[in-house]
Structure 1
Amino acid sequence: MRLKGAKGTPDTAAELAAALLLTAVLLAGGGSRGIGDVIVHMAALPALLLALMRWQWAPASRPQRAMAVVCLGAIALAVLQLIPLPPAMLSMLPGRSDVLADLAQARQTHGWLPLTLDRWGTVRALLAMLVFASFWALACTLTTAARLRLLKLALVLATLTALLGYAQSAAGTHSALRFYDYHHPIGAIGLFANRNHFACLMAMLLPFAIALGVQSQTRRRVPAALAWYAVAAMLFLAAALSFSRTGLALACAAALASVVLSSRVTDASKPGRVRRWAPMAAIAVAIAGIAVYAWDGISHRLQQDPLEDLRWQYLRYGWDAAQAYLPWGSGWGSFKSVYAPLEPVAAMREVFALHAHNDVLETLIEAGLPGIVLILTLLVTVICVTRKSLIDHTFHGPILSAAAIAAFVPLAHSLVDYPLRTHAVAVVFALVLSFLLTNASESR
């Protein structure tokens, strides 16, 4: 449901603040750190202020309240991890006695220390949580029409990013168009530092492009339907040109699910089924483009032995790190600090492990059992709402069906990567949840 806005905060101001933050994350939030994060954090300030003024607990639906608990729990946990503790208490926590012993051996004096083993890593994680929570809470206070405008803005910006990806792929390596050329020197990467996260964004927005095409088709708006189907084809091709294996697989799954549901979804204002041929034609065009422009790179990636991927090594030794710091964890954002000492020298490579490439494991390491409880709460909430949306998809309409599909793209990707730790993916995911965790009566 849409939450009633606070008096004195007009919807226009709230929508503009949300649009500013959405634009900032899609243009500057694809990197890991640096000036891009500063831009995002500055753009998040008005959204955070308005979200605090407008979000109300009483009129919120049960799924929205559950999501609010998850956000507040994660933020509160990060704050608690930053509170200094006396050495006697800190030494009682798993893994901390070794840290204190190392400090004593190095003759470094210290007073009270926080629970987290990476103070600035936890601060960065806290800021990222505030960005996500502020956008989601603010979006929940907007009307469905306003959220649709934000969605279309995201699709337009993603399409421009896809076009940049095409240019990057055509220009090859050492192109000035690659703003993070130290990472993935070939294929499409857009404004991201990681091609997997670029592909995840394309796959997450793909169902919405198809849904808007279906919606326009049911309302006999042929030019608009053709435009949205063209956007869907471009996003699909961009995901393939990233040469991300998981990203392409998720794009294929999202496209297939969207096409299947498109033939069953009806518009409440104009009864009648949508013929499946139109979205299928858009996907066929994308597949033809993939066959011509992306197949060589994809086939090369598929020939690589997946068992040689460093992700399996991160999982193996990451589990050792999780066991060492249970039940409270090592602190949000501290993975790189606690993983490195547990990786055997003989197993080390020329790359440095910044993340576990499995967000469940990384959350277990950094936030312990409380973090796992938060993840399970989020998953149960999304699964229950998705089940209801897909069972009664005719009543809900194409947008909520698309949100049900899109929500699982970054969640599934998080099992082998860390897309939700990138601002651009996280905020768009918050927009998806603002559609999904809403009442059906509002979303028709």
Structure 2
Amino acid sequence: MTHYLRLSIVPAYLFLCLILGGASAAGYWANMVLQLLALPLIAWAVIVRRGTPMPPAARQLVVGLFLLLLLIVAQLIPLPPSVWTSLPGREPVVEGYRLLGLPLPWRPISLAPYATLASGLWLLPAVAALLGIIRVGAFRTAWMAWVVALVATVSVMIGALQIVGGNDSPWYFYSNTNRGSTTGFFANANHMATLLVAAIPFLASLYLGGRGRGKSSRRSSGMFVILAGALAVILVGVIINGSLAGIGLAIPTAFASFLMIWSRKRKLPRWAWAGVALMLAGAAVLIYNVPFSSNNLTGEGRGASDSRFYSFSLSSEAAADQFPVGSGLGTFARIFQMYEDPTNVDLYYMNHVHGDYLEVALETGAPGVLLILLFLLWWARRAVDIWRGDEPDYYARAATIASAAILVHSVVDYPLRTVAIGALFAVCCALMAEPRARERSRRKQNEDDGPRHLSA
């Protein structure tokens, strides 16, 4: 019993993250609870002693986390006036002290240290999920896949209730949300679409995992019906959600998931991934050039003060002015207001760039960009190894597809700024860091610890 309780810790925590952590600019109390719950799991991961050596890919992830922590700490260290005043983009701050007649104090790199600290705490759930897998081993891969599939399916049902209830539907869980659209457990409809797309490969992995355990044909057929029904619900959910990125990414994601099933007994042809790449490129063309009503990257939408084109333009200028040190993690909203045209300001404000990579470049400068490049290199190498492996790991392959969809969506949105998608992405990275080998060794150890019988 204790063994199963241990294995349920990370899946249960992922479930809480997916249903409570669906907002970036709202839901502070729910996110605070998730951060507090993350602390004991992180502490456990720090003090626990693994029964098996940590694989190189997992060690590299831990090193990356350590470098990210160093970056955040470095942005909070107070610097003398002679140092911080020489950094790019600090002229308005110096001018402010001069106008007030105040002496220049010691200040850190971050222009808003408390916002940087708060943004650092926002990462705790993702770190807890990651370390809970690669350090503690408190997980079972199939259970986490079921959690993703279950929450995605229920989100579609809640979204249907939201549409039926109209803008005043009680099924919207956040006051600041996309009313009139399906948001499920999220505040932003685009982030719900991210979850739905990421759930597709995990449905395929559950089907393949169920077939590979020597189950009866009747049971396998029953699982196929359940998973096919869930897939149909999720695809319908993507359509009624209306997110351009969700619709565009669902096509290559579904095709890659089909390739995962198709390659169960045969080797993938060379054209397979070229087909995925072409579909992905087609999705990008669709998002950027088709003049749908919700697309503010084309036509008249480019001139709107709340459009992505407007955000990208001003944020690129701000990132260049703050380079190479950045303005500090969590400072985007304050910096962006300095570049806005006062005649376009209204009751609403831009809380994120709607492009995670550009926002990281603005807030963390060259060190943050370097960390992203190192991670993408790690991800690419792991993805190649996972798909070329002699013994297929279906859950790890599903993690590569789901994490790829999240990475691509982050180009035009900020799904990783929500605790829900951040934790899901961390789980995907952990599954890519050879977790199945550890799970098999743990299962073998449990079998070795069992009773032995002597027969003559």
Shorter-chain TM-score bucket reads: 0.7 to 0.9
2:248 is equivalent to residue 249 of structure 1? yes
**By how many angstroms is 1:237 displaced?**
2.0
Q: Aligned pair count?
A: 405
Query: What's the offset of the Cα at 1:122?
Result: 0.7
Counterparts of 1:23 and 1:323, CA distance in 2: 39
What whole-Å deviation, never above 9, does each CA across 1:252-280 have from its counterpart, x for those lacking one? Answer: 221121112211124xxxxx99xxxxxxx
Aligned counterpart in structure 2 of residue 27 of structure 1, from 8, 19, 41: 19
Q: Which of 93, 113, 117 lines up with 1:99 in the alignment?
A: 93
Separation of aligned partners in 2, 1:14 and 1:82: 36
Task: State whether structure 2 residue 334 is matched by structure 1 residue 342.
Answer: no
Question: Identity rate of aligned residues, in percent?
Answer: 25
For the structure 1 residues 73 and 196, does the alpha-carbon distance in structure 2 shift closer, same or farther, using more than 3 Å as the test? same
Note the 1:371-382 alignment, pairs <5 A. Answer: 371-382=368-379
Provide the C-alpha distance between the structure 2 equivalents of 1:53 and 1:14, rounded to a whole number of angstroms: 16
Amino acid at match of 2:247: L
Per mean C-alpha deviation after superposition, the further-off stretch among 186-195 and 216-225 is: 216-225
Match for residue 319 of structure 1? 316
CA distance in 1, matches of 2:138, 2:254: 24
1:49-198 equivalence runs, <5 A: 49-54=43-48, 59-107=53-101, 111-141=105-135, 146-198=140-192
Give 1:302 deviation, angstroms: 6.3
Q: CA offset at residue 65 of structure 1?
A: 2.0
1:191-212 deviations in Å (ceiling 9; x for gaps) = 2111111110111121101221
RMSD between superposed Cα atoms in Å: 2.7
- Give the corresponding residue for 2:363: 366
Distance in 2, matches of 1:191 and 1:299, equals 28
Q: Offset of 1:328 from its aligned partner?
A: 0.9
Structure 2 counterpart of 1:356, one-letter code: V
Q: Once the 2 structures are TM-superposed, how far is the Cα of residue 412 of structure 1 from its aligned partner?
A: 0.3
Rate the CA distance shift 1:345–1:383 in 2: closer, same or farther, 3 A.
same
User: How far does residue 366 in structure 1 lie from its aligned partner after superposition?
Assistant: 0.5
Change in 2 beyond 3 A, CA 1:13/1:99: farther
Measured in 1, the distance between the counterparts of 2:342 and 2:81 equals 31
Match of 1:210 among 196, 204, 211: 204
> CA separation in 2, counterparts of 1:254 and 1:164?
23
2:335 alignment partner AA: V
SS in 2 for 1:396: coil
Give the deviation of 1:59 after TM superposition: 2.1
> What residue in structure 2 maps to residue 294 of structure 1?
none
**What is the distance in 1 between the residues matched to 2:335 and 2:295?**
33
CA distance in 2, matches of 1:192, 1:144: 26
Question: Do the aligned partners of 1:132 and 1:427 also contact (CA within 8 Å) in 2?
Answer: yes
Change (3 A) 1:145 1:196: same
Give the residue type in structure 2 aligned to 1:421. Answer: R
Offset, 1:169: 2.1
Match of 2:270 in 1: none
1:403 to 396, 399, 403: 399
Q: List aligned pairs for 1:223-242, cutoff 5 A.
A: 223-242=222-241
Bigger mean CA deviation after superposition, 169-178 or 298-307: 298-307
Aligned to 1:281: none
State the Cα distance separating 1:14 from its structure 2 match.
Answer: 4.8
What's the counterpart of residue 410 of structure 2?
414
Query: Residues 99 and 49 from structure 1, CA distance in 2 versus in 1: closer, same or farther, beyond 3 angstroms?
Result: same
Report the TM-score, using the length of structure 2 for normalisation.
0.81
Distance 1:440 1:41 in 2: 27
Q: Which runs of 5 or more structure 1 residues have no equivalent in the other structure?
A: 1-9, 267-271, 274-297
Q: Deviations over 1:163-217 (max 9, x none)?
A: 2112112222221111225431112101211111111011112110122123334
The one-letter amino acid of 1:387's match is V
Alpha-carbon separation, structure 1, partners of 2:337 and 2:52: 46
* TM-score (norm: length of structure 1): 0.83
> Which residue identity is paired with 2:327?
S
Higher alpha-carbon deviation: 174-183 or 326-335? 174-183
- 14 and 333 in structure 1: CA distance in 2 versus 1, 3 angstrom threshold: farther
> Does the C-alpha gap of structure 1 residues 249 and 57 become closer, same or farther in structure 2, counting only changes over 3 Å?
farther
1:279-324 Cα deviation digits (max 9, x unpaired): xxxxxxxxxxxxxxxxxxx996468763425111111111111111
Structure 2 unpaired stretches of 5+: 268-289, 441-456
Q: Which residue of 2 aligns with 1:437?
A: 433
The one-letter code sitting in structure 1 at the alignment partner of 2:228 is Y
CA deviations over 1:100-124 (Å, ceiling 9, x no partner): 2213313456632221112222112
